[in-house]
Amino acid sequence: MTRLAVREAANARQEEVQRRGRGLGWMSLGLGVAQLAAPDTVRRISGVDDSPTSRAVVPLVGARELVHAAGLLTSRRKSAWAWTRVVGDAMDLTSLGMALAHRGGRRRRRLLNVTGAVLGITVLDLLTAVQATRAKEMGSAQAVRGARRGGPMELTATTTVRKPPSEVYAFWRDLGNLPTFMAHLQEVRATGDRTSHWSASAPFGKNVEWDAEIIDEAAGEKIAWRSTGNADVPNAGTVRFVPAPDGVSTEVHVVLTYDIPGGAVGKAVAKYFGEEPHQQLDDDLRRLKQVLETGEVVRSDGAPWGKRARKEFPQRPAQPLSDSELAKGAAA
Amino acid sequence: MRANTWAGRNKVKVRDVPDPKILNKRDAIVRITTTAICGSDLHLIDGYVPTMQDGDVIGHEFMGEVIEVGSGVPADKLRVGDRVVVPFPVACGACGACAAELYSCCENSNPNAGIAEKMFGHPVAGIFGYSHLTGGFAGGQAQYARVPFADVGPLKIESDLTDEQVLFLSDILPTGYMGAEMCDIQSTDVVAVWGAGPVGQFAMDSARVLGAAKVIAIDKEPYRLQMAERAGYTTINFEEVDVRSRLLDLTGGRGPDKCIDAVGQEATHGSAHVHAYDRVKQAVRLETERPHALRQAILSCRSGGIVSVIGVYGGLLDKFPSGAWMNRALTLRTGQCHVQRYMKPLLQRIERGEIDPTRVITHTLPLDEAERGFDIFKNKQDHCEKVVLKP
């Protein structure tokens, strides 16, 4: 796996952990509310309605569940909070075991049912806790932080455009077209047959400009380029145009590499790419497809600013823009 | 202009908003003459469709007169003054999905495709007035609407049919029709339709015109079942009888050959326990659907039959009867309607008198009374089947 692929796998695992953790959080909330709001029902279902101790214990357990819920639902540190649930399960199982020793008949059957359910939940909690701890060890958070400190970042993305490779290639090879769909680019100007001057917009770092040269190309198939001279953010890219199996479309495969420096520029670039750097390139290619297939970047009332709507959310309400909003947006 | 907007869960509000403007070259602006409230709008106000925002103009069934076209709309496609019905999915007509006539899966018309992709695996088309997940397009329960790709979607009405006769070409008639078409109906088929709301009624009409031997309507509202009965269909009230056994009775024990789910994610269940179970899970977001109609359709369908789903689902469901589905060789077909594909042929069927879409209209209200319209439609008051709004 490439470094990027490792990071992506770690991210995927982290997301799974976050999702499971939230699921457990909601369950805790449900159990907690039930135990606090209807303790007598819970005691009856559990077969401990004969014990005065349980009158005090059940709401206490409910309160504890709310603590689990709050932690699991609000904190990103799911591993620690999942382990608190495992500890809670152990306490519950101990109490249930003690209660079981003194019950018979209908109540014992109910207690056994509840104990079975708690055992099932315990297994789930254990699995999540172990998984969360492992995901933490894989260190996806550290990996993202690493990118912020600087170092190479490789992005890949692909899309299929319903136009022949020659046409898609020609559009891309006219480098002045790149800013129509690549959000961070302000202008690309050809300065020679294979050389060009690029400038990126403010969010990408203040007035970042650089020169680039095409280092390899095959008409209708491939273009590779890299920055030259003292670029603030040295970068390189390759785009391949591959005929799709349908015989009319083109698969566009893009690889971009940024050598992110430390310092202010590096920070701005890292901030621009955010937690999901590949999302930016995916969106760029979505716009490339829109421009080639429909003529321009598609706008809606909720997302009216075309490629300048770098982030899809938050967006404005889906209702027509006023004249002043329209004027302001057009100038921005 | 006046427009009906989403104002939070269970709240719509008619307010003044700016008039729409051309944002893309292929846009048109339509002055709306007739619009409607759709059953799927209820999913929005019940809060089961994520990414709604206060102030979103809702509504996706509308028609009217073109008052402005962008510079990219060829005059032979659409001109100012044309009378048009607008299909609810926004579709570009040029991508792979549109080339395959899968308009509701258009790859270009959703500016928020990245979000839709996260939820659904792949993006879906933009839809008017139907959350930011489907693009954040202002809807058609308004005096005016901006219509993107105006050279692709809108259907010109050149005959003297009334608005009421053609309005439903925007959504519910093609949706019902697609539900029946996906059933590959044979002349020997018994077709059962879950849900006798407007879409269900049109699925029944479509099954009839496609040649089904018998059409069965399943619902719990007596007035909706009566509407189906008046149109010539057999009815089952699921609050009064066990649906599966009644279906077996009606089909000599075989079960219906084809089943259509025209209910979707907010079904009511005959058994209060099961309903409560799914309702609670839905409320705490452990599942987003209450899929009783779908479960029952799968369990009832004859072996080797087709279950066609046109009721809206938005997220995740559980207790999906995969055993019945797999072991009994059922085919499951579904999709948001590819309206653009069906508008012309269905207009012809209306012109020939084969389908009368006006039969479902029970209420016509001014746009300013949209709130009341939602209320009676949602609570099934006053025998409400379909509310048409006049801006």
B286 contacts in A (CB within 8 Å)? 23, 26
Helix axes B272-283, B292-300, angle to 10 degrees: 130
Residue A309's pLDDT is what?
Answer: 60
Q: A112: Cβ–Cβ under 8 A, 6 or more apart, which residues? A: A100
Chain A contact for B119, CB < 8 A? no
When pLDDT is cut at 50, 70 and 90, the band that residue B270 belongs to is: low
If asked whether residues B227 and B90 sit together in one domain, one would say no
Q: What is the per-residue pLDDT across A27-77, written as a single tens digit (0 to 9) for each?
A: 888 888 888 888 888 888 888 888 778 888 888 888 888 888 888 887 777
Regions of chain A with pLDDT less than 50: 1-6, 139-146, 312, 332
Can you tell me which residue has the tokens 């990118």?
A147
Same-domain pairing of B198 and B314: yes
* Identity of the residue in A286, A302, A323 whose CB atom sits nearest the CB atom of B136: A302
For residue B324, what is the domain's CATH number? 3.40.50.720
The DSSP 8-state label assigned to residue A149 in this structure reads H
Question: Are B111 and A309 a contacting pair at CB < 8 A?
Answer: yes
Amino acid (1-letter code) at residue A251 = E
Cβ-Cβ contacts under 8 Å, A316 against chain B: 53
**A1-14 as b/e: b if 16+ CB within 10 A:** eeebeebbebbebb
pLDDT of residue B77: 96
Of B69, B131, B24, B72, the residue nearest A305 (C-alpha): B24
Residue B341 is predicted with a pLDDT of 97
pLDDT average, residue stretch B37-46 = 93
Write the Ramachandran bin of A323: left for phi over 0, alpha for psi from -120 to 50, otherwise beta: alpha
Pair B305, B255 in one domain? yes
CATH of the domain at B28: 3.90.180.10
- State residue A2's pLDDT score: 39
Domain end position, chosen among B334, B356, B380: B334
- 3-state DSSP call for residue B353? coil
Domain extent, residue B92, equals 2-171+337-390
Tokens for A31? 């159990």
Mean pLDDT, residues B50-55: 92
Question: Which chain B residues have a beta carbon less than 8 Å from that of A325?
Answer: 18
**Lookup result for tokens 């020609």:** A170
Q: What is the pLDDT of residue A203?
A: 62
Q: Which residue has the higher pLDDT, B360 or A47?
A: B360
- pLDDT for res A5: 45
Task: Please check whether residue B311 is in contact with residue B268, taking contact to mean a CB–CB distance below 8 angstroms.
Answer: no
Nearest Cβ partner for B114 among A162, A290, A312: A312
Q: What is the pLDDT of residue B346?
A: 98
User: Is B323 found in the same domain as B342?
Assistant: no
Q: Number of structural domains, chain B? A: 2
Residues of chain A with Cβ-Cβ distance to B96 below 8 Å are 160, 162, 246, 249
* 8 A C-beta contact, residue B136 and residue A303: yes
Distance, CA of B201 to CA of B176 (rounded, Å): 8
Structural domains in chain A plus CATH codes: 3-140 (1.20.120), 151-300+307-312 (3.30.530.20)
Mark which of B299, B318, B334 sits at the end of a domain.
Answer: B334
Q: Please say whether the beta carbons of B139 and B331 come within 8 A.
A: no
Rounded Cα distance between A196 and A187, Å, is: 10
Which among B334, B356, B382 is the end of a domain?
A: B334
Question: Is residue A147 exposed (0-12), middle (13-18) or buried (19+ Cβ within 10 Å)?
Answer: buried
The answer to whether residues B22 and B159 belong to one domain is yes
Q: Which helix (H) or strand (E) holds B303?
A: none
Average per-residue pLDDT for chain B: 95
How many CB atoms are closer than 10 A to CB A331? 6
Q: Which residue in A52, A145, A247, A317 sits closest to B132, CA to CA?
A: A317
At A125 the three-state DSSP class reads: helix
Give the HSE-up count for residue A175: Cα atoms under 13 Å, Cβ half-sphere: 24
Confidence (pLDDT) at B118: 87
Shared domain for B195 and B315, answered yes or no, is yes
Q: Do B26 and B118 share a structural domain? A: yes
Checking if the pLDDT of B302 tops 80, the result is yes
Cα-flanking dihedrals φ and ψ of residue B214, to 5°? Answer: -150, 140
Tell me whether B253 touches chain A (CB under 8 Å).
no
Interface ipTM: 0.91
A29: left (phi over 0), alpha (psi -120 to 50) or beta: alpha
Q: Are residues B102 and B246 in the same domain?
A: no
Percentage of chain B surpassing pLDDT 90?
87
Spacing of C-alpha A109 from chain mean position: 46
Phi, psi angle pair for A205, to nearest 5°: 115, 145
In three state form, how does the secondary structure of B102-160 look? CHHHCCCCCCCHHHHHHHHCCCCCEEECCCCCCCCECCCCECEEEECCCCCCCEECCCC
3-state secondary structure (DSSP) of residue B67: strand
B286 and B199 in a single domain? The answer is: yes
How many residue pairs bridge chain A and chain B with CB atoms within 8 Å of each other? 133
Considering the domain architecture, whether residues B31 and B178 belong to the same structural domain is answered as no
Please give, rounded to a whole number of angstroms, the shortest distance from the CA of A99 to a CA of chain B: 29
pLDDT of amino acid A3: 43
Confidence of residue B343 (pLDDT cuts 50, 70, 90): very high
The tally of CA atoms less than 13 A away on the side-chain side of residue B251 is 26
Q: Which two tokens stand for residue B284?
A: 């705490």
Same domain? For B320 and B267 the reply is yes
B368 shares a domain with B290 = no
A312 contacts on B by Cβ (under 8 Å): 111-112, 114-115, 132
CA B8 to chain CA centroid, Å, is: 22
Chain B window 41-80: which residues touch A at a Cβ cutoff of 8 Å? 51, 53-57, 72
Nearest CB among A26, A289, A312 relative to B108 is that of: A289
Backbone angles phi, psi at A69, to 5 degrees: -60, -45
CA distance A230 to chain B (A): 35
Chain B contacts of A304, Cβ < 8 Å? 23
pLDDT at B345: 98
Predicted local distance difference test score (pLDDT) of residue A149: 60
Give the CA angle between residues B238, B171, A319 to the nearest 5°: 115
CB-based contact (8 Å) between B114 and chain A? yes
B80 vs B275: which has the higher pLDDT: B80
- A150-154, A249-253, B10-14, B194-198: least confidently modelled range: A150-154
| Token pair of B106 as six digits | 């258009």
- Nearest residue to B209 (alpha-carbon basis) of B105, B352, B327, B330: B352
Tell me how far apart the alpha carbons of residues B292 and B278 are, in angstroms, rounded to a whole number: 9
